[in-house]
Amino acid sequence: MGRIIQDVRYALRQLRKAPGFTLTAILTLALGIGANAAIFTLVHAVLLRNLPVVDPKALVRVGDTDDCCDIEGTPDHNDYSLFSYDLYLHLKANAPEFEQLAAVQAGLGNGSLTTRISKPGALSKALSGEYVSGNFFQTLGLQPLIGRLIQPSDDVHGAPMVAVMSYRTWQREYAQDPSVVGSTFALNTHSVTIIGVTPSGFYGDRMTDVPPDFYLPINLEPVMGQSSILHQQNLNWVYVIGRIKPGTQLGPLQARMSGNLRQFLSTLDLYKKADQQKNLTESHLVLSPGGAGIENMQQSYASGLKLLMAISALVLLIACANIANLVLVRGMARRAETSVRMALGAQRRRVIQQMLTESVVLSCLGGIAGLVVAYMGTRTLLALAFPNSPNLPITPDPSPVVMGFAFGLSLLTGLVFGVAPAWVTSHSEPAEALGGSNRSTRDHSSLLQRSLVVLQAALSLVLLVGAGLLSKSLNKLEHQHFGLQTKNRVIIHISPENAGYKVGQLQALYDQIEQRFHALPGVERVALSLYTPMESGSWGEAVAIQGRPEAGPNVSVGSMFVRVGPEFFDIVGQHVLRGRGITAQDTAASPPIAVVNQAFVKKFFTNGEDPLRKHFGTFGVKSSNDFEIVGVVNDAKYDNTRRPSRAMHFRPLLQPTPTFDPGDGRSLYAGAIMLQTKGQIEGLESQARKILASIDPNLPVVNFTTFDDQIAGQFGQERLIARLTLIFGVLALALASIGLYGVTAYTVAHRTSEIGIRMALGAARGSVVGMVLREAMLQAGLGLAIGIPVALLCARFVKSRLYGVESHDLSILTFAIFTLAVSACVAGWIPARRAASTDPMNALRTE
């Protein structure tokens, strides 16, 4: 025991006496291990966490895609993950294998609920609510924190109106006031009793940055909104998740449920058409694990996180190679000392033990530093990964499992690479290293070291190329031509539907909003719209052009659709190319018109027909006389940043669709006010709140943002991955340079006498520098030779993430090679200079 303490003390002193080595090793370990622990924490938190409910493994989701939020028509590949409420009831009634089968609203959104506590002077707030079936909480097996949770008896038409509040909301908005339970809230102006609060760890049925503030029985849906979708059988809008009975075979169940699905679908008008029979027979559903709830976020982040894991693993590999090199160099440099110890009678076990102690002490220090890096790194990483998402249910604290993993890894690294030189040294005859016999033994370890450096150079080239590609792609994405004007544009999201407005009241409301905002000093233009470009989410419809036969099932007739106010095109920067735009005269009473974009013209008027004055509809051939095209505007990107603009038509805010369309009512409620201002206006947000509150206290600001920020928000994941890859690339480069420096410096020290001979024979300083540098560059060059094809190969894995950049982009490859070459030059030049200052006399004396 005392001996171990003595060894540890000695090891600490040794490390203190070689601060360069110690610092480099600890830093290398800290960065390598810390980066991995941080990434792994993120992966653990996002991908591997189950819902905090009873026995999450028994939960099964009916469906497997991240389709959202309310979709008409057939899903991709006829794979159903989203269902209509009636379809859910049908599936539930025919699946006795489920103890419970619950439905939850698919589309959540900030501001889906306008709430006001029934107290004098209380202001209304835009919060989020989720409709759930009455057995939702029973399915998950949750117990309330206080009060009670929703029961099936609450989810019945005509039952007293109740809602459950989430713990976070109770804490954040109502300071955990117990009197909230039992009190009455105005939810979308309807009186609803809060019956309970969810347990504190529960964040809903899925991971999202807008977890529900309220859970409402799904049968309240027709009451809460102005146009109900509850029993629209052609609209799919709920996810289904259930708790399976023990011992159930999922395979046969999935087949049977798919059969039930087809049975229900065959009764729908859509599938009664002759050309839909193929789609009907192919329609199916997939049962997937439901322990983590609805895994939309997991699905959207999985490939990105896996890429980051692969990259951080590469960094760890480089770090390990570095540690191996450092420890090897040190072990070899201390051969003479070890030999003296053995000459004095040290047992081999003792020598190895002492060297190992040093490795372990070093690893522990590195591991501790790694934990610090991991702890800080995770916070930074979360901030980088999910900016502006304070409500995301992910904590930045690395779990003990991750911490243990990281620490164990650093210990293992130290042990593995500490053993090698200890073993080599202790197995040589002491006389050899003491110079007792004048015969030089070939240095086998140097080949290993050089290979490690070559490996490092190759790997860091791969990372540099990856970082370059992703950064360039992000840059292209952000600076692409959107066809939009974003400077001095502000977007205010609202929800008149939640405020209880009837369709007939909307014209007056919109007029008032436009007038009041126009009156604000500095505001140049004001327009309402159903939604705004690049806010994730859009409306689409099937288009039928007048005078053409009905399109077959495989002909694409989709067009995006948005309702906009008169000044909208000027605000977002779309120009009217032909005809006219939308004006204030286009009211509910005037003839229905539409403006289309260039992509629409290209898609539907292929042979140079003039689109102006043509008519089309969105509800089949019978509706094709509905709207007259009065103008064409240039293309702009509305939903997808990577694909070219899609066909799109614009309609006035309040013109109803002449042919009856059950979804039409909802589209009349404007979701956003867009402002164009003269420069930045101080306190615009609070002024907007005041204006809206004065128009109607039930009209809160759901969200306030600039157009620029809204677009930037589309690149969150790309930015995260590009930045992290860049950080890791630079890290890898630094580690590889340190490695090259270390090996070159060691080689130079080892070759002191050789260099001395060369200088004694007349080698000039320049030629010594050249010789050493040449060797360093040879290793870097070999690394490049291996790294270039590997990098090109690996670049194919990120190909799907690239925008506007080829995976074999030459400028990036050149830049990466150049960067690596320059770093190698610097790393080699320093020891080369030292070699050139060798005093030949001293060098020769070391014989």
Partner 1 sequence: MTESMIHIEQMTKVFYTDEIETHALSGIHLTINRGEYVAMSGPSGCGKSTLLSIIGLLDTPTGGQYTLNGREVANLNFADRSRIRNQEIGFIFQSFNLIGDLTVAENVELPLTYRAGMPSAERKRRVQESLERVNMAHRMRHYPAQLSGGQQQRVAVARALAGSPSILLADEPTGNLDSKNGEAVMKLLQELHDEGATICMVTHDPRFAAHAERQIHLFDGKVVAEGELSGLLAEVEG
Partner 2 sequence: MIELKNLERSYKTGATETWVLRRINLMIREGEFVTVMGPSGAGKSSLLNILAMLDDQWKGEFYFDGDAVHGLNRKQRAQLARMRIGMVFQSYHLLDELTVAENIDLPLSYKDIPKAQRQSLVADTLDRFNIVGKKDLYPSQLSGGQQQLVGIARAVIHKPALLLADEPTGNLHSAQAKEIMEMFRKLNEEGTTIVQVTHSEVNAEYGSRTIELRDGWLSKDTAGMAAHGVSA
DSSP for 709-749, please give it. HHHHGGGHHHHHHHHHHHHHHHHHHHHHHHHHHHHHHHHHH
Q: Note whether 348 and 356 are within 8 A (CB).
A: no
450 binds partner 2 (CB under 8 A): no
Q: Note whether 574 and 483 are within 8 A (CB).
A: yes
- Could you tell me the smallest distance in angstroms from the CB atom of residue 841 to partner 2? 5
Q: Report how far residue 504's alpha carbon sits from residue 654's, in angstroms, rounded to the nearest whole number.
A: 10
**Of residues 260, 279, 259, 261, the one with CA closest to residue 270:** 279
Q: Note whether 70 and 62 are within 8 A (CB).
A: no
Q: Report how far residue 214's alpha carbon sits from residue 187's, in angstroms, rounded to the nearest whole number.
A: 10
Q: Please pick, from the candidates 179, 249, 440, 837, the single residue that binds partner 2 as defined by CB under 8 A.
A: 440
761 binds partner 2 (CB under 8 A): yes
Residues at the site binding partner 1, with contacts judged by CB under 8 A: 2, 6, 13-14, 17, 336-337, 340-350, 429-431, 434, 436-437, 439
Q: Report how far residue 500's alpha carbon sits from residue 517's, in angstroms, rounded to the nearest whole number.
A: 22
Select from partner 2, partner 1, none the partner in contact with residue 682, using the beta carbon and a kind-dependent cut-off of 5 to 8 Å. none
**Of residues 459, 359, 475, the one with CA closest to residue 740:** 459
Spacing of C-alpha 28 from chain mean position: 28
Select from partner 1, partner 2, none the partner in contact with residue 606, using the beta carbon and a kind-dependent cut-off of 5 to 8 Å. none
Nearer to partner 2, 183 or 446 (CB): 446
Q: What is the largest CA-CA distance in the chain?
A: 109
**Of residues 504, 460, 528, 519, the one with CA closest to residue 731:** 460
E strand residue ranges, 198-324: 214-217, 235-236, 238-244, 284-285, 287-289
- Could you tell me the smallest distance in angstroms from the CB atom of residue 744 to partner 1? 24
- Could you tell me the smallest distance in angstroms from the CB atom of residue 762 to partner 1? 27
Select from partner 2, partner 1, none the partner in contact with residue 146, using the beta carbon and a kind-dependent cut-off of 5 to 8 Å. none
Nearer to partner 2, 318 or 773 (CB): 773
Pick the stretch among 42-50, 205-213, 783-791, 839-847 that binds partner 2 (CB under 8 A).
Answer: 839-847
- Could you tell me the smallest distance in angstroms from the CB atom of residue 758 to partner 1? 23
Select from partner 2, partner 1, none the partner in contact with residue 844, using the beta carbon and a kind-dependent cut-off of 5 to 8 Å. partner 2
Pick the stretch among 515-523, 625-633, 763-771, 788-796 that binds partner 2 (CB under 8 A).
Answer: 763-771
Query: For the chain, how many residues are written?
Result: 847
837 binds partner 2 (CB under 8 A): no
Query: Which helix (H) or strand (E) element contains residue 524?
Result: strand 523-529
Q: Please pick, from the candidates 72, 432, 661, 754, the single residue that binds partner 2 as defined by CB under 8 A.
A: 754
845 binds partner 2 (CB under 8 A): yes
Q: Report 243-302 residues binding partner 2 (CB under 8 A).
A: none
614 binds partner 2 (CB under 8 A): no
- Could you tell me the smallest distance in angstroms from the CB atom of residue 762 to partner 2? 4
- Could you tell me the smallest distance in angstroms from the CB atom of residue 6 to partner 1? 8
840 binds partner 2 (CB under 8 A): yes
- Could you tell me the smallest distance in angstroms from the CB atom of residue 801 to partner 2? 47
Per 3-state DSSP, the chain is made up of helix, strand and coil in percentages (nearest 5) of 50, 15, 35
Q: Tokens representing 335?
A: 């051969």
Q: Please pick, from the candidates 69, 764, 793, 826, the single residue that binds partner 2 as defined by CB under 8 A.
A: 764
763 binds partner 2 (CB under 8 A): yes
- Could you tell me the smallest distance in angstroms from the CB atom of residue 761 to partner 2? 5
Select from partner 2, partner 1, none the partner in contact with residue 348, using the beta carbon and a kind-dependent cut-off of 5 to 8 Å. partner 1
CB neighbours of 699 closer than 8 A, spacing ≥ 6?
Answer: 114, 124, 494, 495, 496, 499, 692, 693
- Could you tell me the smallest distance in angstroms from the CB atom of residue 435 to partner 1? 8
- Could you tell me the smallest distance in angstroms from the CB atom of residue 410 to partner 1? 25
**Of residues 23, 241, 30, the one with CA closest to residue 135:** 241
Nearer to partner 1, 18 or 270 (CB): 18
Q: Report how far residue 320's alpha carbon sits from residue 405's, in angstroms, rounded to the nearest whole number.
A: 15
Q: Report how far residue 758's alpha carbon sits from residue 192's, in angstroms, rounded to the nearest whole number.
A: 93
**Of residues 443, 646, 428, the one with CA closest to residue 556:** 646
Nearer to partner 2, 68 or 434 (CB): 434
Select from partner 1, partner 2, none the partner in contact with residue 434, using the beta carbon and a kind-dependent cut-off of 5 to 8 Å. partner 1
Query: Which helix (H) or strand (E) element contains residue 594?
Result: strand 593-597
Q: Report 766-795 residues binding partner 2 (CB under 8 A).
A: 767
Select from partner 1, partner 2, none the partner in contact with residue 577, using the beta carbon and a kind-dependent cut-off of 5 to 8 Å. none
Using CB under 8 A, list all residues that contact partner 2.
438, 440, 442, 753-754, 757-764, 767, 840-841, 844-845, 847
